[in-house]
Structure 1
Amino acid sequence: MLASINDQSKSNGNLLHARVIKLFSLVGASITGGMCLLSLLGNNNTLTLILLVACTTYLIALFSLKKFNIKVSAIIIIYSLYLLMFYLVFSGGVAQTGPLWIFIVAPVSVYVLGFRLGLINLAIFLCIVCIIMFLPQHLVAHEAYTPEFKLRLILSFLTMTFLSALYEYSSMQFYRNVLELSAKYQQLAMSDPLTKLANRRNASAVLQQEKARIDRNHEPLSVLLCDLDHFKSVNDKYGHNAGDMVLMELAKVFTDNVRQQDCIARWGGEEFLVILPQTSAEQAGIIAEKIRLSVQNHTIHFLKHQIQVTISIGISQLTEDETIDELINNADKCLYQAKTLGRNRVHP
């Protein structure tokens, strides 16, 4: 159940991630395309070519979302952005305004690449930017910046990186908390609060799933409907707290005597339903007798009292033309027969 919730949440997260990447690709293509036209009008051929390549790259990333997975588009976007920023820092862009664009790198990196990988890439990115700006002019000719501009640019970038990382970390923690709360409430909605077993709603869903499966595979499915004998007398004699203790103890006995693939549910009151996939009525009878004997031999210790109870069990196997309701009704009829014949027995 929890795995199903995680899968659904992950799917929703991937869908949102894809939409943001798509939007960023569209915005990036629009901005670089517009700047490309301005550069063309300003006769800056080198910058025009670089911006044209960047615009084309963003368009490729936009359309690759349909043919490839999100990671491919993310890699195209983030590393093409890095290369464009390196060029703008190296060349100065228009009137030394090129380096000002690097501030968009921090939030995009931590969102697209994730918190940890984003910070690693930002550290490498800043190192390369520093190398470009502090590279001696006699080695490679590039745009010269004043020491004050370099220092303030680096400090501003580090501040933006810190704020972006803090926001991404907070969002990540919030998402995890919401997911955990969602799983917790879903678990509460599908389980019995006293015995921690599946509740009637959960068991009904399992039965529907199993019926769909056996309709395809034609495998047997049996259920055990179990009812405590004279449970009212336990409550009357020892109190309702003792009755709750008996139900919790029996839940453990049931769990210890069934297989991992079986489902045990508190069907209602002192009734329990055991769903046995890939199990015929004959095989279910063996399991039922094992459960009955275990309950009979189990002693519940409550305060200074030692309480022993017995159960009656009805067995029913699902037939091809039978509904779930009919399956449960047949098990209930068998349970009634077990009660009528003297209790503490399995029927048929």
Structure 2
Amino acid sequence: MLELIKKYHPNQGASQQARVISLFSLVGMSMTFLMGAISFLGSDNALTVVLFLASLTYLLSFLFVKRLNVSVSANLIIYSLYLLMFYLVFSGGVSQTGPLWIFIVAPVSVYVLGLRQGIMNLLIFLFVISAIMFMPQSLIAHAAYSNEFKIRLILSFLTMSFLSALYEHLRMLSYKNALEISRQYQQLAMRDPLTKLANRRNAAAILEQEKARLQRNNEPLSVLLCDLDHFKSVNDKYGHNAGDMVLTELSALFTEQVRQQDCVARWGGEEFLIILPQTTSEQAGVIAEKIRSSVENHTLQFLDNKIQVTISIGISQLSQDQTIDELINNADKCLYQAKTLGRNRVHP
């Protein structure tokens, strides 16, 4: 289930970014086309061509989001936007208002490119804009602005860039916190709170996954169903805190006795299920006897009391035509036989 969480959140982020880029592309296409039409009526041919080219670029960006990938559209948006802003600052746009459009660059850059790359791009963008505005007229003729306007424009752009970066930083922190909270909730949903082992629901999901995987490879799958003998007497004699301690310590003992690919789960109450992939019933019997012996020879200490417990274990191997429920039911029957035959034993 945790794997599903990890898969879900990045996909959700990419999907949201694609929607934002699509929206920005449509808005950018519409606005630049409208401004190009107005510029055409005003007989500013150079500005008209630039705006219509920008509108076409945003249209391509929108199509790339739908048919190719987000990164291509993101690069088209960002770098065509930069070029358009450079031209507006250089030419002055309509009535020297071109530089006023540069403020949209900051939030778009940090959102589309990410915080670190966005900030680097903004610094480069600001350097180019400053170079254009402060470039001597004798070198290349361009729109002239007063020094007061240029300084205030740069300071305003720096302020907008800082606020945009701060917002993006807080947005990413919020996203990471939400991801961590989701992970913790999933951990609680799929783990037994006392023993920290997989719970029944988690174990059932793992069994289904292992069944599908191992059947494709024609490999065996066995389970051990373990039950503590006379566990009620432990609770009655020493109290429920002692019973919880026994379950917790035995959980750690079970985990130590199995392989890394195996799964130990708390099946319910004092019952534990151990899933053994790539294991026949004969091999499972060896593992079960090792676990049974370890528990029998293990002394648990609770306050001043030494507690000895034993376990009974039922073994079941999955056959080709069996369901998971039938596998567990068979293990439960074997466990019942082990109890009937005197407990502290493995069956079959």
- What is the TM-score normalised by the length of structure 2? 0.98
Answering whether residue 231 of structure 2 is matched by residue 231 of structure 1, we say: yes
Q: Aligned with 1:224: secondary structure?
A: strand
Q: Which amino acid aligns with 2:60?
A: I
Q: Aligned with 2:54: secondary structure?
A: helix
Q: Which amino acid aligns with 1:163?
A: L
Q: Kindly provide the CA deviation profile for residues 127-160 of structure 1, in whole angstroms up to 9, marking residues without a partner as x.
A: 1111111111111111010011111111111111
Structure 1 stretch displaced more, 129-138 or 203-212: 203-212
In structure 2, how many angstroms separate the alpha carbons of the residues matched to 1:218 and 1:30?
59
Identity of aligned residues (%): 71
- The match for 1:112 is 112
Answering whether residue 214 of structure 2 is matched by residue 222 of structure 1, we say: no
- The match for 1:68 is 68
Q: Kindly provide the CA deviation profile for residues 241-271 of structure 1, in whole angstroms up to 9, marking residues without a partner as x.
A: 1110000001101111111221111011100
Q: Report the CA distance between 1:224 and its aligned residue.
A: 0.4
Q: Report the CA distance between 1:228 and its aligned residue.
A: 0.5
In structure 2, how many angstroms separate the alpha carbons of the residues matched to 1:136 and 1:330?
89
Q: Which amino acid aligns with 1:79?
A: Y
**What pairs with 1:108-187 in structure 2 (closer than 5 Å)?**
108-187=108-187
In structure 2, how many angstroms separate the alpha carbons of the residues matched to 1:170 and 1:258?
44
Q: Report the CA distance between 1:66 and its aligned residue.
A: 3.1
Q: Report the CA distance between 1:167 and its aligned residue.
A: 1.1
- The match for 1:202 is 202
Q: Report the CA distance between 1:13 and its aligned residue.
A: 0.8
Q: Report the CA distance between 1:231 and its aligned residue.
A: 0.9
Q: Kindly provide the CA deviation profile for residues 148-183 of structure 1, in whole angstroms up to 9, marking residues without a partner as x.
A: 111111111111111111111111111111110011
- The match for 1:212 is 212
- The match for 1:250 is 250
In structure 2, how many angstroms separate the alpha carbons of the residues matched to 1:67 and 1:58?
14
Q: Report the CA distance between 1:338 and its aligned residue.
A: 0.8
Q: Report the CA distance between 1:212 and its aligned residue.
A: 2.5
Q: Which amino acid aligns with 2:208?
A: Q
In structure 2, how many angstroms separate the alpha carbons of the residues matched to 1:24 and 1:177?
27
- The match for 1:260 is 260
Q: Which amino acid aligns with 2:75?
A: I
Structure 1 stretch displaced more, 243-252 or 63-72: 63-72
In structure 1, how many angstroms separate the alpha carbons of the residues matched to 2:26 and 2:255?
55
Q: Report the CA distance between 1:340 and its aligned residue.
A: 1.3
Q: Which amino acid aligns with 1:245?
A: M
Answering whether residue 31 of structure 2 is matched by residue 31 of structure 1, we say: yes
In structure 2, how many angstroms separate the alpha carbons of the residues matched to 1:125 and 1:295?
69
Q: Report the CA distance between 1:2 and its aligned residue.
A: 3.0
In structure 2, how many angstroms separate the alpha carbons of the residues matched to 1:215 and 1:196?
29
- The match for 1:320 is 320
- The match for 1:12 is 12
Q: Which amino acid aligns with 1:43?
A: S
Q: Aligned with 1:222: secondary structure?
A: strand
- The match for 2:331 is 331
In structure 2, how many angstroms separate the alpha carbons of the residues matched to 1:18 and 1:218?
42
In structure 2, how many angstroms separate the alpha carbons of the residues matched to 1:122 and 1:327?
62
- The match for 2:303 is 303
In structure 2, how many angstroms separate the alpha carbons of the residues matched to 1:14 and 1:297?
54
Q: Report the CA distance between 1:210 and its aligned residue.
A: 2.0
Q: Report the CA distance between 1:211 and its aligned residue.
A: 2.4
Q: Kindly provide the CA deviation profile for residues 78-128 of structure 1, in whole angstroms up to 9, marking residues without a partner as x.
A: 011001000100110000010000000011001100111111111111111
In structure 1, how many angstroms separate the alpha carbons of the residues matched to 2:6 and 2:218?
30
Q: Report the CA distance between 1:216 and its aligned residue.
A: 2.8
In structure 1, how many angstroms separate the alpha carbons of the residues matched to 2:223 and 2:268?
15
Q: Aligned with 1:136: secondary structure?
A: coil
Q: Report the CA distance between 1:214 and its aligned residue.
A: 3.4
